[in-house]
């Protein structure tokens, strides 16, 4: 019994030392920055957890498209939709002056896409028009909120679509989460507690193919590292303040193990380069922590 107690104390002491070292390095990155930075890390295999400002409710921006995609795929799991089902995207669905790779490819609209393709545009390319198409399809943001509530997601609110946030940038604060909530949700997703295995695998592959935010959590990781992530960015709607520069994801280590990380930069008056570099540097520090 004494030996077991001693070993447990040793493990606890090592974890404390690991967190302290990690904290010191992260503090050095954010020191002096005119921004609030929320950071959470959750090791899926060894129960290692770290957070700084992890309980602060921060705006999600396009990160909420992960929550939306999950709600849509839950409906597919229940037989309401199929990922192969085709939908007509009209020209009227393709609003101007918003981020939309689909509109760039099909400026006249009137194109049929499968639900799977629409989800891919929404998550991997963060298309705002396909995002709002999906929200209309499932009955709005409350449907997403209800689904997340049913799965025990905490400190999370989703109440505005992309068009709402473009009409009044202050609405961007209305969709929020804590970084602690974000990594907990990613763990549930990974464990198959959000969706069926088929839908989990489908969305995981889409997130692994994310093309946005290459200057965030993926930037300094070794080339080829599997990172299933979702980004969010506000720009500077008033030319002064960055509402959010976000990234969250599941990272696979060389040993095959996994961890979740969420870094949300909020209310920053720093440049985009400084904001994204903070996310990138923090991600690299965490990666190095797991690969000593």
Give 10-residue mean pLDDT values along the chain (292 residues): 55 70 95 98 93 98 98 98 98 96 97 98 98 98 98 97 96 98 98 98 98 97 97 94 98 97 98 98 96 86
For residue 138, give every residue at least 6 positions away whose Cβ sits within 8 Å of its Cβ, in sequence order, or none.
Answer: 71, 72, 75, 144
Residue 175 to residues 50, 81, 155: CA-CA distances in angstroms? 24, 26, 11
pTM of the model: 0.94
pLDDT, position 16: 78
pLDDT, position 120: 98
Q: Is the dihedral of CA 127, 133, 136, 139 positive or negative?
A: negative
Measured distance CA(258)–CA(3) in Å, rounded: 30
CATH architecture classification, 33-291? 3-Layer(aba) Sandwich (3.40)
Q: Please, are residues 229 and 214 in contact by the beta-carbon 8 Å criterion?
A: no
Tens of pLDDT, residue by residue over 266-286, are 999 999 999 999 999 999 999
219 counts as catalytic: no
DSSP 57: -
Q: Please, are residues 211 and 218 in contact by the beta-carbon 8 Å criterion?
A: no
pLDDT, position 12: 56
pLDDT, position 17: 77
Q: Is the dihedral of CA 206, 144, 74, 196 positive or negative?
A: positive
Q: Please, are residues 265 and 275 in contact by the beta-carbon 8 Å criterion?
A: yes
162 counts as catalytic: yes
For the chain, domain boundaries: 33-291
| Catalytic one of 40, 117, 126, 162 | 162
Measured distance CA(211)–CA(209) in Å, rounded: 6
Q: Please, are residues 141 and 122 in contact by the beta-carbon 8 Å criterion?
A: no
Q: Is the dihedral of CA 145, 156, 196, 206 positive or negative?
A: positive
pLDDT, position 159: 97
Q: Please, are residues 150 and 115 in contact by the beta-carbon 8 Å criterion?
A: no
> Tokens in use for 75?
């409906």
pLDDT, position 242: 97
> Tokens in use for 257?
């193990």
> Tokens in use for 286?
């965490």
Measured distance CA(251)–CA(242) in Å, rounded: 26
């Amino acid at each position: 019994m004494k030996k077991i107690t001693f070993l447990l104390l040793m493990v606890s002491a090592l974890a404390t030392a690991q967190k302290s070292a990690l904290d010191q390095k992260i503090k050095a990155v954010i020191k002096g920055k005119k921004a609030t930075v929320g950071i959470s890390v959750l090791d899926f295999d060894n129960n290692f957890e770290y957070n700084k400002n992890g309980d602060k409710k921060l705006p999600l921006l396009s990160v909420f498209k992960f929550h939306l995609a999950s709600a849509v795929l839950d409906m597919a799991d229940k037989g309401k939709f199929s990922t192969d089902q085709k939908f007509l995207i009209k020209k009227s669905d393709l609003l101007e002056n918003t981020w939309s790779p689909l509109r760039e490819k099909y400026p006249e609209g009137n194109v049929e896409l499968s639900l799977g393709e629409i989800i891919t545009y929404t998550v991997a390319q963060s298309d705002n028009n396909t995002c709002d198409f999906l929200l209309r399809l499932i009955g709005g943001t409350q449907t997403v909120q209800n689904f997340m509530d049913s799965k025990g997601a905490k400190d999370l609110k989703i109440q505005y679509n992309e068009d709402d946030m473009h009409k009044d940038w202050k609405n961007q604060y209305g969709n929020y989460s804590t970084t602690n909530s974000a990594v907990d949700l990613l763990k549930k997703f990974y464990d198959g507690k959000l969706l069926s295995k088929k839908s989990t695998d489908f969305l995981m592959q889409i997130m692994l193919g994310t093309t946005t935010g290459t200057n965030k959590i993926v930037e300094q990781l070794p080339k080829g590292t599997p990172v299933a992530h979702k980004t969010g960015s506000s720009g500077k709607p008033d030319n002064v303040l960055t509402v959010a520069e976000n990234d969250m994801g599941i990272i696979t280590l060389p040993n095959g193990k996994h961890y979740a990380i969420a870094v949300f930069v909020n209310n920053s008056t720093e440049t985009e380069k400084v904001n994204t570099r903070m996310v990138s540097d923090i991600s690299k520090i965490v990666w190095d922590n797991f690969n000593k």
